[in-house]
Chain A
Amino acid sequence: MVVLAKLRKVSTRFALSLTAALIPGLASGGSDLASLHLGLAQFALDTHDPAAVLRYTRNATTEAERLVRAKALLVTGSHQEAERLLKELIEGQYYRGQAALLLAELPTDSGDNKTREYLETASKRASGSDRQKALYRLAEIEREAGHTDRAGKVLASMEPGYWAALGYMNIAADYGRQDRNPSRALVALRVALAMSEEDVDSQRSQELISRLLVRAGYLAYDHGDYEKAIGFLEKIPLESYSTSHGLYLHGLALSASGNQRAAMQSWHRAKKYPLAYPGVANAWLGTGRGYDLAGYLGQAGEAYLAANASYESERVTLRKLADQIRQKGAYQALVLDARNSEAQWFLADNRTLTQPRTAYLIRFIEQPAAQAAVNRVAELKEMRQTLHQREDSLAVFRGAISERLGPVGHNVDGGPFNEEIKELVQRLANLKARTISPAQQEALKGVARTLADLKASVGRLDGRLKKKDRKLNELMTRTDHALERIRTVRRTADALLSRAESELDELALAYVEEQDHRMAFALDRTEQQIAHLYEYLALENLERGQP
């Protein structure tokens, strides 16, 4: 045991000397190593570290490695190189479908025909969700060209699930616009509902079902089928994003069928949501209208005045939001501040939907242009932060390297180590003669192997120490180059961030202005209703006053 302890001490000292010598190098390759690198690359891709993926797949040879690399290249914006790899894969054996789908998602110069060709390949060669996505996109191409029947045929060949449900939802929207009779659209929506129930992602399924129910409810209401509309709308879960819209439509259907009291209950519930959500502003107005229709004119007036006050206060909120966007920028005012809402994590349930700022953020983010603009700013901010951290780390490395330059302070030439190893080998030989049990023999064999390793390393140490300063200087030069590159890239990132932020600010301000117009319009409507009500009451009084 004393030998083992001493050996560990020697090897630790030696390891430290080796670290001081800083000898870089790379291990040799092999098929096992390739599979390890593929697994590491896959994990890095799934955990959003594309740079690591590119590192692990720099010598990609197998199709699996090339696919993972192509995906990472797409994430890092190297579309041309990704396209080249994907075109190779499409001619390969195993990933033709996935490669075709990824190629279809790339912007092409050759137009829709090439995209359709890729999608057709993907629909034949891919499996699972990739195949369904390809079929959905093919159906969308047909639908957008006005061939709803052909789109329907493509959708009929799909497996039940999210993509099929989306396809039927879009077809239902087309039918709703084209037909006077809602039956085709409602059938398509019912199919979409059934398809969505088969979605494996339960949260996504619930969200889509809520949207489908709102559409079906509206369609039925619009065509005067109030009972059917109420049936659809009552199925919307209360914690869904579409609830406020559903409640408003539910109130409308109830009101149209003569049940003003129940209608007002629905609108009253819709009024609990922020005015940013669809249907809420109308629900405020609806309450007044409901009282009016039920014959309670006094309450109707109060409800209109309450709606008025609510719209006025919302306009103040919107003006404040616009000021904050101008002062802090849209990303801070709308995205970060909404994220840092005061709701504690243990209260963060569906009530977070009732935060006005979150509501405006969600509604804003519904627009694809806004999504892209926010995404640009978020990506650039993250990039800048990463670069900043990298710069800090490199500065520390640089310091560490410069400390190691020059003569080594302590005794690290091979001589003393050789003496110690020699002594240990001698003691090992003595012990070997006395060992009896196989376990002891095995332990001594291990010690002998380590001593042999140490001896070999000590043999190389002198040579390495001679090269130490040259190697460290090389590392220093590389570090300096890297620092310079980081600074250049950071300057570019800063410039792009400022452009991306101003574009987002512009979009956000336009959105807030649009919301303000919406509130002003709602305000106008309530004022008209109030005027109409007072006029009616005045006429009534006049009539009563007449003999």
Chain B
Amino acid sequence: MVAGAQQTVTVRRQGRVAWPVIVAMLVACLFGLTRSAFAESLDQEIDRLKADVADLSQTLYQLEENVLYPVDTQVAVFLTLRNREGLDLDSVELYLNDTPVASHLYTDQERDSLKQGGVQRLYIGNLPHGAHQLKAVLTARSANERFVRREATHQFRKRPGESRIQMSLDAAAPDYEPVVSFQEWK
């Protein structure tokens, strides 16, 4: 009987000990769930904000372009790479009618993007109608480990409407001599 009574007491004690533990575990689980749910809802709200910012950014870009670069005087210069392996571009400088208008130093990421077919808008601005000269100065490392600096000029006529000039860079084996070609798009 004594042993039985002792056993009962032990069971009660276990019960008393177990309940707070279970409650604590439930609270911990709930806390964990609440925390993860909180993080999830925060992520969702940040996603919504990012979408709003991206949408706003497009509106602003359109507005800026309309204010700053009216279509009839707008000129944009783009850069593409024709040969993926021929050149590692270091920098490009652009001059319009001998006035420096843009310069760019390339990061690895930008170089890779150009090699994968990316097109970079180097310059956008306004020019009056008539004849103009575009000069590009580029420095690069060719595939045969030579450092090169080349200048290329292009004469063009600004006409009504947007003017887009695409500058393509090529360097073919075996000498990997950089060749810059220009193409005008309407």
Residues of A within 8 A of B (CB): 4, 7-8, 11-16, 18-19, 21-27, 32-33, 36, 39-40, 42-43, 46-47, 50-52, 54-55, 58, 72, 75-79, 369, 372-373, 376, 379-380, 383, 386-387, 390, 393-394, 397, 400-401, 446, 449-450, 453-454, 456-457, 475, 478-479, 482, 485-486, 489, 492-493, 496, 499-500, 503
- Which of the residues B39, B46, B54, B128 comes within 8 Å of A8, measured between beta carbons? B128
A39 to B55, CA, bound (A): 21
A76 to B57, CA, bound (A): 11
A76 to B71, CA, bound (A): 29
Chain A: minimal CB distance from B151 (Å) = 23
Q: Is the interface of A mostly helix, strand, loop or mixed?
A: helix
A33 touches B185 (CB 8 A): yes
Stretch of B3-11, B13-21, B118-126 on the interface side = B118-126
B67 touches A43 (CB 8 A): no
B110 touches A500 (CB 8 A): no
Residues of A contacting B128 in the complex (Cβ-Cβ under 8 angstroms): 8, 11-16
B118 touches A42 (CB 8 A): yes
Residue contacts A-B, CB under 8 angstroms, 15 given: A11-B130, A23-B70, A42-B113, A42-B116, A46-B110, A46-B118, A52-B57, A72-B54, A79-B47, A369-B39, A390-B60, A393-B64, A450-B129, A457-B129, A482-B56
B56 touches A485 (CB 8 A): yes
Q: Known contacts A42-B118, A46-B110; is A489 also within 8 Å of B58 by CB? A: no
A383 touches B49 (CB 8 A): yes
B66 touches A24 (CB 8 A): yes
Residues of A contacting B100 in the complex (Cβ-Cβ under 8 angstroms): none
Q: Known contacts A8-B128, A12-B128, A43-B120; is A397 also within 8 Å of B63 by CB? A: yes
For residue B166, CB closer than 8 A to chain A, the reply is yes
For residue B72, CB closer than 8 A to chain A, the reply is yes
B121-169 CB contacts (< 8 Å) to partner A: 121, 126-131, 157, 159-162, 164, 166
- The contact size tier of chain B is 35 or more
A453 touches B54 (CB 8 A): no
A169 to B52, CA, bound (A): 41
0/1 per residue, B35-67, Cβ < 8 Å to A? Answer: 000110011011111111111111111111011
Q: Is the interface of B mostly helix, strand, loop or mixed?
A: helix
B82-118 CB contacts (< 8 Å) to partner A: 109-110, 112-114, 116-118
A400 to B67, CA, bound (A): 9
B129 touches A40 (CB 8 A): no
| Nearest-neighbor residue (CB-CB) of A471 within chain B | B66
A15 touches B127 (CB 8 A): yes
B71 touches A77 (CB 8 A): no
Which interface residue of B57, B80, B109, B186 has the most chain A CB atoms within 10 A? B57
A46 to B114, CA, bound (A): 9
B56 touches A486 (CB 8 A): yes
Residues of A contacting B45 in the complex (Cβ-Cβ under 8 angstroms): 492, 496
Residues of A contacting B48 in the complex (Cβ-Cβ under 8 angstroms): 77
Q: Known contacts A18-B70, A27-B71; is A36 also within 8 Å of B78 by CB? A: yes
B120 touches A8 (CB 8 A): no
Q: Known contacts A39-B118, A43-B119, A379-B50; is A394 also within 8 Å of B60 by CB? A: yes
| Nearest-neighbor residue (CB-CB) of A398 within chain B | B67
Which interface residue of B39, B53, B63 has the most chain A CB atoms within 10 A? B53
| Nearest-neighbor residue (CB-CB) of A499 within chain B | B42
B129 touches A379 (CB 8 A): no
A373 to B35, CA, bound (A): 12
B51 touches A46 (CB 8 A): no
Residues of B contacting A380 in the complex (Cβ-Cβ under 8 angstroms): 46, 49
A376 touches B129 (CB 8 A): no
Residues of B contacting A397 in the complex (Cβ-Cβ under 8 angstroms): 63-64, 67
A397 to B120, CA, bound (A): 26
Chain B: minimal CB distance from A32 (Å) = 6
Residues of A contacting B51 in the complex (Cβ-Cβ under 8 angstroms): 76-78
Chain A: minimal CB distance from B21 (Å) = 22
A36 touches B66 (CB 8 A): no
A55 to B71, CA, bound (A): 17
A54 to B51, CA, bound (A): 11
Residues of A contacting B57 in the complex (Cβ-Cβ under 8 angstroms): 51-52, 55, 386, 390
Chain B: minimal CB distance from A382 (Å) = 10
Residues of B contacting A54 in the complex (Cβ-Cβ under 8 angstroms): 54-55, 58
B119 touches A496 (CB 8 A): no
| Nearest-neighbor residue (CB-CB) of B65 within chain A | A24
Chain B: minimal CB distance from A67 (Å) = 13
- Which of the residues B58, B114, B118, B126 comes within 8 Å of A19, measured between beta carbons? B126
A376 touches B43 (CB 8 A): yes
Q: Known contacts A46-B109, A77-B47, A77-B51; is A51 also within 8 Å of B58 by CB? A: yes
B66 touches A475 (CB 8 A): yes
B130 touches A8 (CB 8 A): yes
Chain B: minimal CB distance from A103 (Å) = 17
Chain A: minimal CB distance from B119 (Å) = 3
- Which of the residues B58, B60, B113 comes within 8 Å of A46, measured between beta carbons? B113
B80 touches A39 (CB 8 A): yes
Residues of B contacting A482 in the complex (Cβ-Cβ under 8 angstroms): 56, 59-60, 63
B157 touches A446 (CB 8 A): yes
Q: Known contacts A18-B70, A25-B71; is A36 also within 8 Å of B164 by CB? A: yes
A323 to B146, CA, bound (A): 54
B67 touches A22 (CB 8 A): yes
> What would 17 more interface pairs be, CB under 8 Å, given A40-B118, A51-B53?
A16-B128, A18-B73, A39-B80, A39-B118, A50-B54, A54-B54, A76-B50, A78-B47, A78-B51, A380-B46, A383-B53, A457-B129, A478-B63, A489-B56, A492-B45, A493-B53, A503-B42
